[in-house]
């Protein structure tokens, strides 16, 4: 399990610091109506007013900053599929395992910039199978399942690339298993974001026959972000600018899932 970044969660969003400061200000003014040792009271008022003015302004800045972090405190698992001996889809020497890893790293950074706590199942070119095991693929998938389930994450995103015998197929597509009733909503939001940012005409699709996604209890989806078998898409999938567009689309879809 790879921890990308840890953020401690505090619920500042609903605190009205201006209101609290106004109450305090009125209270300090009220002290003026008392007739005991006016000099001491006035000095006390000034000191307290300055201290709480600084505090109120600082907390207002914190509040404004946190409002810019819509995923603040959300725990997200990013799963770049394949790795190591398993190249995934390919076109000649262009391998899925390399491209989806780069996209996953960019996506993780984008999610963290919005306040999320992000884990990755892998950060380099390796699979997750146990050493010297015959059924490496099963072992790899089982470990991914266990890592995500045991994390108690808010959601997971499994990043893959597609390929078909036909070179005409193209477009990013979201797949979901109905094992968790939140999966469809997450899929709807991300697929809409793929259409907005990537121009994908593909539709959200339900799949209940893939071992890994049937076994993961946490909310999440499989994201096939493009086709290596399509020449135009194969070209852009290798380009950082397009990888960033994919990450932006997914991030916006995740935000919309939580808040719309």
User: What is the tens place of the pLDDT at every residue in 161-196?
Assistant: 999 999 999 999 999 999 999 999 999 999 999 999
30 C-beta neighbours (distance < 10 Å), count = 10
Helix (H) or strand (E) holding 19: helix 17-30
**Is it the case that residue 140 has pLDDT exceeding 60?**
yes
12 falls in which pLDDT band (50, 70, 90)? very low
21 falls in which pLDDT band (50, 70, 90)? low
pLDDT, tens only, 45-97: 565 666 656 665 555 544 544 568 999 999 999 999 999 999 999 999 999 99
Q: Which residue has the tokens 């072992």?
A: 139
Between 17-31, 72-86, 126-140, 182-196, the lowest mean confidence (pLDDT) is in 17-31
- The reply to whether 52 and 114 lie within a common domain is no
Residue 219 lies in a domain: yes
State how far the Cα of 108 lies from the Cα of 78, in Å rounded to an integer. 7
- The reply to whether 164 and 41 lie within a common domain is no
Q: Which domain does 97 fall in, by range? A: 70-259
Residue of 17, 115, 100 lying closest to 58 (CA atoms): 17
> Residue 14: what pLDDT?
45
Residue 5 lies in a domain: no
Write the CA distances from 74 to 5, 43, 226, integer angstroms. Answer: 12, 45, 27
Contacts for 10-19 with beta carbons within 8 Å, 24 or more apart?
12/59, 12/62, 12/63, 12/66, 13/63, 13/66, 13/67, 15/59, 15/63, 17/56, 17/59, 17/60, 17/63, 18/56, 18/60
- The reply to whether 155 and 215 lie within a common domain is yes
Residue 131 lies in a domain: yes
State how far the Cα of 12 lies from the Cα of 248, in Å rounded to an integer. 26
Half-sphere exposure of 94 (CA within 13 A, CB side): 17
- The reply to whether 181 and 221 lie within a common domain is yes
Taking residues 218-228, report their average pLDDT.
98
260 falls in which pLDDT band (50, 70, 90)? confident
State how far the Cα of 196 lies from the Cα of 224, in Å rounded to an integer. 16
Question: Is residue 157 helix, strand or coil?
Answer: strand
35 Cβ neighbours under 8 A, 6+ residues apart: none
Between 28-32, 97-101, 113-117, 139-143, the lowest mean confidence (pLDDT) is in 28-32
- The reply to whether 115 and 164 lie within a common domain is yes
């Amino acid at each position: 399990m790879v921890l990308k970044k840890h953020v401690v969660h505090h619920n500042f969003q609903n605190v009205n610091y201006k209101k609290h400061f106004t109450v305090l200000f009125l209270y300090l003014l009220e002290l003026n109506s008392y007739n005991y040792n006016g000099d001491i009271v006035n000095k006390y008022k000034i000191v307290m007013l300055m201290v709480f003015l600084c505090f109120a302004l600082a907390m207002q800045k914190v509040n404004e900053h946190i409002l810019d972090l819509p995923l603040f405190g959300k725990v997200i698992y990013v799963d770049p599929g394949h790795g190591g001996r398993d190249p995934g889809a390919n076109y000649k020497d262009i391998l899925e395992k390399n491209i989806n890893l780069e996209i996953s790293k960019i996506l993780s950074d984008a999610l963290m910039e919005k306040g999320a706590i992000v884990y990755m199942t892998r950060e380099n070119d390796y699979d997750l199978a146990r050493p010297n095991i015959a059924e490496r693929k099963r072992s790899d998938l089982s470990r991914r399942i266990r890592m995500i389930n045991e994390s108690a994450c808010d959601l997971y995103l499994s990043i893959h690339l597609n390929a078909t015998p036909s070179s005409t197929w193209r477009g990013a597509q979201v797949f979901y298993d109905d094992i968790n009733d939140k999966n469809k909503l997450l899929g709807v939001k991300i697929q809409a974001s793929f259409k907005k940012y990537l121009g994908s005409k593909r539709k959200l699709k339900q799949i209940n026959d893939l071992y890994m996604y049937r076994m993961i209890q946490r909310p999440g989806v499989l994201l096939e972000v493009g086709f290596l078998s399509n020449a135009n898409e194969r070209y852009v999938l290798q380009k950082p600018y397009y990888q960033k567009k994919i990450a932006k689309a997914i991030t916006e879809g995740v935000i919309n899932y939580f808040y719309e």
